[in-house]
Amino acid sequence: MGSLPPPLDLPSPPPKYPLHERISETTLLSLFKAQQGHLNYFFQNLDLSIALSFTETLLNSRGTIFFSGVGKSGFVANKISQTLVSLGICSAFLSPLDALHGDIGALSSTDILVLFSKSGSTEELLRLIPCARAKGVYLISVTSVPENVLANACDMNVHLPLERELCPFDMAPVTSTAIQMVFGDTVAIALMGARNLTKEQYAANHPAGRIGKSLIFKVRDIMKKQAELPVCKEGDLIMDQLVELTSKGCGCLLVIDEEYHLLGTFTDGDLRRTLKASGEAIFKLTVCEMCNRKPRTIGPDAMAVEAMQKMESPPSPVQFLPVVDHQNILIGIVTLHGLVSAGL
């Protein structure tokens, strides 16, 4: 039998925690305060007349508002463009590299191109300028360094006052990008107000998110209907309706008359309380004798978010709401589980 091979010389595992010094609360607080000071410098020195001119130019645009930038400024430009799109404003991000390889074909003479650059000397943007100008585009630069090349090459320049970067070397773009984002998002909200965007219009642009669902979905869109309803008649014995009570996933029985008018509700909690209080007598009790005759209800055209608020309202929260029409005829049930599953 041969000898065993020597054991492999495996590297030692990394330490459980990085061997760095701890950051004190005092240090972190001083950084936040320093950043706050840099942002205050921006607010105190921003030329509002130029900011207003920029905002009105975007408001009166007859074409697409394109945004472009490189690196961190590019991320900010893309985000601001997406914010405008979510407000129903025709906007798009234009990569300066892709633009020079065919994407500039998207530009037309009715469009605006907004170029974000801290220094105003970004080579990729400078190469884009003559090509965009040849398409008749209106050019706007958003920069922070005074008297820069990009500003001189554009039709309008917005100067974002920058005291310095929070970075100890004054190099990492952590303050300049913050003021770019604050500026762009504030302008976006100004455009939102000027265009009189309604809550319903905003929701229509966010159908899959919680914002849109809370403003679009109605009770009728989420409620259980017909065969899904745990219904029983007022004269039915409680013990005869246990399968109906437990099989529909609602935790209740909806008590109705022959014309489907809602008479009351009987929950699994009511079952436990009745069993505890009545013992064997429960076998002779009807649902109608022990049901809640004044349950909370809601109409089918109410907003789904209103149903959730009604479930959570005092004196105690409930897990479901019967859905009735104006004649108190039962047409459905909406449950807390159904609302949560719908993303509300």
Sequence spans of domains, the chain:
31-197, 219-342
Residue with the two structure tokens 């679009």 = 216
Query: Is 332:300 a contact under the CB 8 Å cutoff?
Result: yes
Query: Quick one: pLDDT at residue 21?
Result: 74
Which helix (H) or strand (E) element contains residue 86? helix 72-86
pLDDT band with cut points at 50, 70 and 90 for residue 192: very high
Say how far apart CA 328 and CA 263 lie, in whole Å: 9
Residue 285, CB half-sphere, CA atoms under 13 Å: how many?
18
Count CB neighbours of 214 within 10 A. 19
Residue 94, CB half-sphere, CA atoms under 13 Å: how many?
28
Query: Is 320:250 a contact under the CB 8 Å cutoff?
Result: yes
Residue 315 has pLDDT above 90, yes or no: no
Query: Quick one: pLDDT at residue 163?
Result: 97
How far is CA 148 from its chain centroid? 37
For the domain 31-197, what is the CATH code? 3.40.50.10490
Residue 1 has pLDDT above 60, yes or no: no
pLDDT digits (tens, 9 = 90+) for 123-151: 999 999 999 999 999 999 999 999 999 99
Which whole number is the average pLDDT over 242-263? 90
Query: Is 153:34 a contact under the CB 8 Å cutoff?
Result: no
Is residue 208 classed exposed, middle or buried when 0-12, 13-18 and 19+ CB atoms within 10 A define those classes? exposed
Query: Is 177:76 a contact under the CB 8 Å cutoff?
Result: yes
Considering the four listed CATH numbers 3.10.580.10, 1.20.1260.10, 3.30.379.10, 3.40.50.360, the one that applies to the domain covering 219-342 is: 3.10.580.10
Residue 332 has pLDDT above 80, yes or no: yes
Residue 2 has pLDDT above 60, yes or no: no
